[in-house]
Structure formats: structure tokens, C-alpha cells
Structure 1
Amino acid sequence: MTNTLRFPPAEPAAAAEFFAAELAFEADPDDVVRDLESGAAQGFQLVETRSAEAFAHSRIPTAIHLDYRTVDELSTKDLDRDLVYVCYCESFQCNAATKGALRLARLGFRVKRLSGGITAWRAAGYPVEGDEGGHTGVRCAC
């Protein structure tokens, strides 16, 4: 038996349910940038969850900053509860977006996480503000 098939694949219905659920929690940079470029970004807001220093150095255009450590009822009192908040951080190796999304969800907000963070965004060649796409050496500090 091959390593790939050592564990049998899920039945199609179970696989469809799993992947649909995964997409309910994640957005990819390609979909987000297409929405931003086409002007179809209604309904969601990008949220940078890294440190204020990291946000000052580089960020995805249109993103707001909410350091995941400070997400609470007071820091979110002016957020629109009708929007979906798409949280991002540095990369797959960083979990600030997950922590921010968790805090927002616990406060009753609808959330998704941007797959791969700003690193995947840059790797796809999409624009960033602040450092013009280069790496700043600022760590996410999560």
C-alpha cells in the first residue's frame, strides 16, 4: 500500500462537508485581492492582528489594526457587527490571526482568517503599504 492511500480517503459527502467547513473559516489572498480590485469588498474588513510596530511598517491596503492582545469589548465597540472580519498576521508560522479571530468570535463577530498572512500576500505579488513589499525585519511579536 502506498503512503498516500494508507489511510483511505473520506467518502465524497464527508469530504464535501469538511472542505466547505474549511472555506467558512479561511479566505485566500487571491479571492480577497480580486474583491478589493473590483470594488466588491463590501461585507468584509481586513484586520491586521500583529503588533502596532509591524502594522506601521507594512500592511495590506484597507486593513485596520487590532493587536490580538487588545481585542476586547472596548477596542471593538465601534466595529460594524454586520461585517465579516478577515484576520491576518505574518504567515502560516504565526498564530496572531487565529488568536485575534478567536477573540473577535467570542465577542460575537463573524470572522475568517487570511490564509498565509501578509507573507503569502507578498509572495503572490500583491501590494502592501509601508514597506513597498520588502521585508522590514519587524517580527509579528505574537
Structure 2
Amino acid sequence: MTTNAVLEVAAATSADAFQRFASSLQYETDCWDVHEAFTLGDPGFVLFDVRNQDEFQGGHIGGAIHMMRGKMIASKLAVYPANTLFVVYCAGPHCNGATKAAMVLAKLGRPVKVMLGGITGWLDQGYPLTKSVDPSIIR
């Protein structure tokens, strides 16, 4: 029988696979879902762009707030109710900044999800970026 890397390890049972994939949605979302939420009006979450300020000013997702992970401290987040869901994104799949920011928010006891794909994924979907910079969205 011919084997390869895909077949070397048996697939999980359907029940285990369902549980694993369903649980991943507690930790992550994607560009499509974020775009759709903003299209519908109040998305019900706060979107943080965790890239550096130059990258943010060069183009970001409309509605995003610039918040680098080093500035994520309890006193800055106190303006948001304790149950506020934060969605974080960075440059793209080659960047782990969103994951690191999600860890900071989780350590602060805040609900958080990572937007998979980051700016790269957003652009791949054909969604626009905005370059307008309202000083109140840079933190």
C-alpha cells in the first residue's frame, strides 16, 4: 500500500473533528465575518489594529482602533465594559502580533478573538482600507 505524509496519521473521528473545529471559532474569526459585522452596523466588538503607527496610518480597516500590545493595560481598557469582545489583527499570516496581543488581552481577563489573515487577508478578500486618521483612534 502506498503511503504519504497525509495518510501516516489517521484522521480524527468525526465527533472529535467537529469539536476541534467548533472550538477554534471561540478563538478566531475571519475577514469575511468582520467585514459582514461592520456592514450590518454596530458589530458588537471592538476591532484593534496592533501593527505599528506608520502601518496603521498607511491603511487600516475602517472602524479599527490602533492599539499596540505594549499599550494594552487595564487602565486604557477601562473605558470598555468588562464583557467587551476585542478582535485583533496584524499584518497577515506571516505575523504573530495578533496572537501576542490576544494573549495580553486574555491575561487582562478580556474576551478576545484573532482575525485570521490580518491586513493581507482583508485585501485578498477585496475589502478596502482607509487612510483617514482620526486622532481618537490611535492609542
- The interval holding the TM-score normalised by the smaller chain is 0.7 to 0.9
Q: Specify which structure has the higher proportion of helix.
A: 2
RMSD of the alignment, in Å?
1.5
Gaps of 5+ in 1: 132-142
Match of residue 110 from structure 1: 111
Q: Which amino acid aligns with 2:7?
A: L
Q: Is 1:48 equivalent to 2:49 in the alignment?
A: yes
Number of residue pairs the alignment of both structures matches: 130
1:71 is aligned to: 72
Q: Equivalent residue of 2:114, what SS?
A: strand
- Structure 2 counterpart of 1:119: 120
DSSP 3-state at the match of 1:75: helix
* Structure 1 residues 74 and 119, CA gap change in structure 2 (3 angstroms): same
* Separation in structure 2 between the aligned mates of residue 19 and residue 119 of structure 1, nearest angstrom: 23
Alignment match, 1:15: 17
Q: 1-side partners of 2:5 and 2:104: how far apart?
A: 38
Tell me how far apart the structure 2 counterparts of residues 80 and 100 of structure 1 sit (CA, whole Å).
18
Task: Give, in whole Å, the separation in 1 of the partners of 2:101 and 2:16.
Answer: 29
Normalising by the residue count of structure 2, what TM-score does the alignment of the two structures yield? Answer: 0.87
Partner of 1:137: none
Unaligned 5+ segments in structure 2 are 133-139
What SS does the aligned partner of 1:87 have? strand
How far apart, in 2, do the equivalents of 1:60 and 1:80 lie?
23
For residues 88-107 of structure 1, the aligned pairs below 5 Å read 88-107=89-108
- Distance in 2 between the 1:39 and 1:71 partners? 26
Task: Give the CA deviation at 1:40.
Answer: 5.2
Q: Please report the TM-score for the alignment, with normalisation by the length of structure 1.
A: 0.85
Choose 4-13 or 106-115, whichever is displaced more: 4-13
1:35-83 deviations in Å (ceiling 9; x for gaps)? 2112251x21111111122112111010111101221122222123222
